[in-house]
């Protein structure tokens, strides 16, 4: 019989199907070909983006080739950096100006790579760019939350194929983040322990859903995975704020991301995916009840539409099987 | 500048893009061809589904041709009707047996139609099937919620192309429903009015987002639409329980559904979509603070992946424009 499982953080339930488990090739991932022609994120085309905010470069002046990671404002931003919020009521609704920051982190100059293909030090550079931009933007008093994420592949919402991540600084804390934080706070109130730390302890004890572990980080297919081959990465040491990641943890975290994504890429034929860094809102204090982490969600299953409306997920691949399959990949990484 | 809007029911924020609005053809809906060969939902293939639970028929014995609407158990159910729940703890998690009901409502015997193409009386029949199954299943004490929805088109999660809807009876109230109910309850506590009734009043006053109205029902593109061309249908008279829909409201509701879907189909080149009936949990009393309704979500935009994780939506089509475009369709319906 299938199993209903409840996530203690958000109270979300999922149905794990325990019948015939789809094989890796059952998820028909559409093959794609990349084309670097006219790509605004490649070397030599720097003038096609707004001027860079920061860049790691080996050579050259700003906005010229020679960079290895480059951060630019989004040319078509959902939110704009200029202006006041002007929050006001509108009947039963609240309305605010679309003030915020919307930046693009170009992970690498190499059009045909993805995060999964980066060397450890290249991956570290990207993480440092995330951290640097988070630290800078949190100085702006209008912003309450910094959301860092990646859409990879058309199905996952990427409109450009050159490897890039995005950062949106928001004047509000997004709902899913609030839910997590409130759920974690309730757990803490009751148990005086961080729910993520408790979950981590259980994953480490049970072992069979872990796909990455080092001194600082862990990557696993969570017991209450919403999606087939969902992977979470957590720092082992309690820390609520991604931007406050200790310097010595960065190489581990970058490697954890790269290795987990490389396993997903190799096993599942380079599927589209999203990852999102979940961190605490900008407010200047470390929280005992929240734990930053990354959620990686391969886009494999046809989206069973009712999930949008119900918040109820059906996962056809039990997470311990997903972990076993991901671990079977022979990694060829630097 | 773009606008941030907050839904007073769930507290959800959306960003409405107020720049260049995509035209209808910008949403590249993939054309598809249907093929009725070997369809288990067509007349003559009744033996390929589990035996019918109920059916409207013009002729013939059960499980033979002659029906006009037919309800069968899902052959590959996410939840099964037999067994006890056996809720138990599992470390920080809760686990339960996958007990529930998972039924398929075959809307019509006509393979090449969709809900949008039904006559008014055919649409009514489907609605009666929804009501009848809801009333029957709520007698089972293990169930807390009845979720009725439709996935149309592969992208929206439909695995069979023959027009059908689904019903899942759940042993828990899904998270999104709880959120709505809690949000609406908070509003009621403060204002002593139903938030949906208030919203309805505003929509009727402002007029410019309404695409359907009759004595009993209203269809509109909500001010805080998450998706381009999202449409909600509400009964005008306060009623928290879909299964308690008054008999004289059924023809209006069926027509509202059909007309709104027909407008979406005609304007947007037959796009994939989901609809979900949002109703109150099974508990036997009418609630002053909740209002059943249907949410129709065309799957037009590439899913900007981070929305999954943030609960933050970016909508490129302001809802009053969506309504204007939908209203421009000349309906050819019976």
Express each pLDDT in B15-32 by its tens digit. 999 888 888 888 888 888
Mean pLDDT (whole number) for A79-93:
88
Confirm whether B150 is domain-assigned: yes
Higher-pLDDT residue of A155, B203: B203
Q: What is the DSSP letter of B168?
A: E
pLDDT tens-digit map of B126-138: 999 999 999 999 9
Higher-pLDDT residue of A112, A18: A112
- Number of domains comprising chain B: 1
Q: What is the edge-to-edge ordering of all strands in the sheet holding A217-220? A: A54-57, A67-73, A101-106, A164-170, A145-152, A273-278, A293-298, A231-235, A217-220, A210-213
- Joined together, the tokens standing for residue A190 give 């009751």
By C-alpha distance, the chain B residue nearest A147 is B310
Mean pLDDT (whole number) for B44-60:
96
In this predicted structure, the answer to whether residue B108 has a pLDDT above a threshold of 80 is yes
| A26-58 residues labelled b (16+ CB within 10 A) or e (exposed) | ebebeeeeeeeeebebbeeebeebeebbbbbbe
Summary mean pLDDT of chain A? 92
Higher-pLDDT residue of B45, B333: B45
Confirm whether B75 is domain-assigned: yes
Mean pLDDT (whole number) for A257-283:
95
Confidence label for A304 from pLDDT (cuts 50, 70 and 90) = low
Kindly report which listed range (A180-194, B42-56, B112-126, B298-312) carries the lowest average pLDDT score: B298-312
For chain B, give the percent of residues with pLDDT over 70. Answer: 98
Confirm whether B94 is domain-assigned: no
- Residues in A touching B147 (Cβ below 8 Å): 306, 310, 312
In this predicted structure, the answer to whether residue B309 has a pLDDT above a threshold of 70 is no
Residue B45: domain span: 3-82+99-327
Whole-angstrom CA distances from B66 to B50, B57, B62, B109 are 17, 6, 9, 9
Confirm whether B114 is domain-assigned: yes
**Residue among B15, B24, B27 nearest B318 (CA):** B15
* DSSP result, B248-266: GGHHHHHHHHHHHHHHHHH
Backbone angles phi, psi at B92, to 5 degrees: -75, -5
Report pTM.
Answer: 0.92
pLDDT at A264: 97
Confidence label for B302 from pLDDT (cuts 50, 70 and 90) = low
- Residues in A touching B273 (Cβ below 8 Å): 305
Confirm whether B334 is domain-assigned: no
- Residues in A touching B27 (Cβ below 8 Å): none
Determine, for residues A10 and B175 on separate chains, whether the beta-carbon distance falls below 8 Å: yes
User: Which residue(s) pair with A152 in the sheet?
Assistant: A273
In this predicted structure, the answer to whether residue A79 has a pLDDT above a threshold of 80 is yes
Which residue of the set A164, A278, A291, A293 is catalytic? A164
Determine, for residues A6 and B92 on separate chains, whether the beta-carbon distance falls below 8 Å: no
**Which of B272, B306, B314, B317 to substitute to test the interface with A, most A CBs within 10 Å?**
B306
pLDDT tens-digit map of B262-274: 999 999 999 999 9
Mean pLDDT (whole number) for A118-139:
97
pLDDT at A112: 94
By C-alpha distance, the chain B residue nearest A198 is B92
**Residues with Cβ within 8 Å of residue A286, at least 6 apart in sequence:** A239, A240, A241, A244
User: How far, in Å, CA of B97 to CA of A18, rounded?
Assistant: 11
Nearest CA-CA distance, residue B56 and chain A, Å: 26
Name the residue facing A274 among B17, B297, B308 (closest C-beta). Answer: B308
Residue B21 near residue B317, CB atoms below 8 Å: yes
CATH code for the domain of B275: 3.30.428.10
User: How far, in Å, CA of B311 to CA of B296, rounded?
Assistant: 18
Question: By three-state DSSP, how is residue B213 classified?
Answer: strand
Confidence label for B310 from pLDDT (cuts 50, 70 and 90) = confident
pLDDT at A307: 76
pLDDT at B175: 87
- Torsion angle of alpha carbons B9, B15, B19, B20, nearest 10°? -80
In this predicted structure, the answer to whether residue B305 has a pLDDT above a threshold of 70 is no
In this predicted structure, the answer to whether residue A305 has a pLDDT above a threshold of 80 is no
- Residues in B touching A198 (Cβ below 8 Å): 91-92
Summary mean pLDDT of chain B? 92
By C-alpha distance, the chain A residue nearest B279 is A310
- Joined together, the tokens standing for residue A27 give 């998820």
**Residue among A210, A203, A214 nearest A322 (CA):** A210
User: How far, in Å, CA of A108 to CA of A111, rounded?
Assistant: 8
In this predicted structure, the answer to whether residue A303 has a pLDDT above a threshold of 80 is no
| ipTM (interface pTM) | 0.88
Name the residue facing A17 among B3, B78, B309 (closest C-beta). Answer: B78
Confirm whether A117 is domain-assigned: yes
In this predicted structure, the answer to whether residue B213 has a pLDDT above a threshold of 80 is yes
Whose tokens are 């509108």? That residue is A90
By C-alpha distance, the chain B residue nearest A200 is B92
In this predicted structure, the answer to whether residue A170 has a pLDDT above a threshold of 70 is yes
Confirm whether A333 is domain-assigned: no
pLDDT at A68: 97
Residue A14 near residue A4, CB atoms below 8 Å: yes
- Joined together, the tokens standing for residue B68 give 């006009």
Confirm whether B266 is domain-assigned: yes
User: How far, in Å, CA of A77 to CA of A108, rounded?
Assistant: 21
Determine, for residues A97 and B10 on separate chains, whether the beta-carbon distance falls below 8 Å: no
pLDDT tens-digit map of A187-231: 999 999 999 999 999 999 999 999 999 999 999 999 999 999 999
Burial (CB count within 10 angstroms: exposed 0-12, middle 13-18, buried 19+), residue A213: middle
């Amino acid at each position: 019989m299938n199993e209903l499982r409840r996530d203690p953080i958000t109270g979300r339930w999922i149905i794990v199907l325990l019948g015939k488990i789809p094989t890796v090739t059952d998820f028909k991932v559409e093959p794609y070909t990349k084309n670097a022609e006219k790509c605004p994120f490649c070397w030599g085309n720097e003038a096609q983006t707004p001027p860079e905010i920061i860049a790691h470069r080996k050579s050259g002046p700003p906005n010229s080739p020679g960079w290895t990671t480059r951060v630019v404002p989004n040319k078509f931003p959902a939110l704009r950096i200029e202006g006041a919020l002007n929050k006001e009521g509108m009947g039963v609704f609240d309305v605010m100006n679309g003030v915020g920051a919307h930046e693009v982190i170009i992970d690498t100059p190499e059009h045909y790579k993805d995060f999964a293909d980066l060397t450890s030090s290249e991956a570290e550079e990207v993480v440092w760019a995330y951290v640097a931009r988070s630290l800078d933007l949190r100085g702006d008093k209008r912003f309450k939350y910094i959301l860092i994420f990646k859409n990879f592949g058309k199905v996952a919402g990427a409109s450009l194929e050159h490897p890039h991540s995005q950062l949106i600084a928001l004047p509000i804390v997004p709902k899913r983040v609030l839910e997590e934080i409130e759920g974690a706070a309730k757990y803490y109130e009751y148990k005086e322990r961080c729910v993520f730390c408790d979950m981590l302890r259980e994953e480490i004890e049970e072992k069979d859903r872990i796909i990455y572990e080092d001194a600082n980080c862990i990557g696993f297919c969570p017991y209450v995975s919403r999606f087939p081959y969902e992977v979470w990465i957590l720092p082992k040491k309690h820390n609520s704020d991604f931007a406050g990641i200790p310097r010595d943890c960065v190489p581990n975290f970058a490697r954890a991301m790269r290795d987990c994504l490389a396993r997903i890429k190799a096993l599942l034929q380079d599927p589209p995916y999203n990852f999102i860094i979940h961190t605490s809102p900008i407010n200047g204090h470390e929280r005992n009840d929240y734990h930053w982490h990354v959620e990686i969600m391969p886009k494999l299953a046809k989206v069973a539409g009712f999930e949008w409306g119900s918040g109820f997920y059906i996962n056809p691949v039990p997470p311990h099987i997903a972990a076993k399959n991901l671990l079977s990949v022979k990694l060829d990484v630097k």
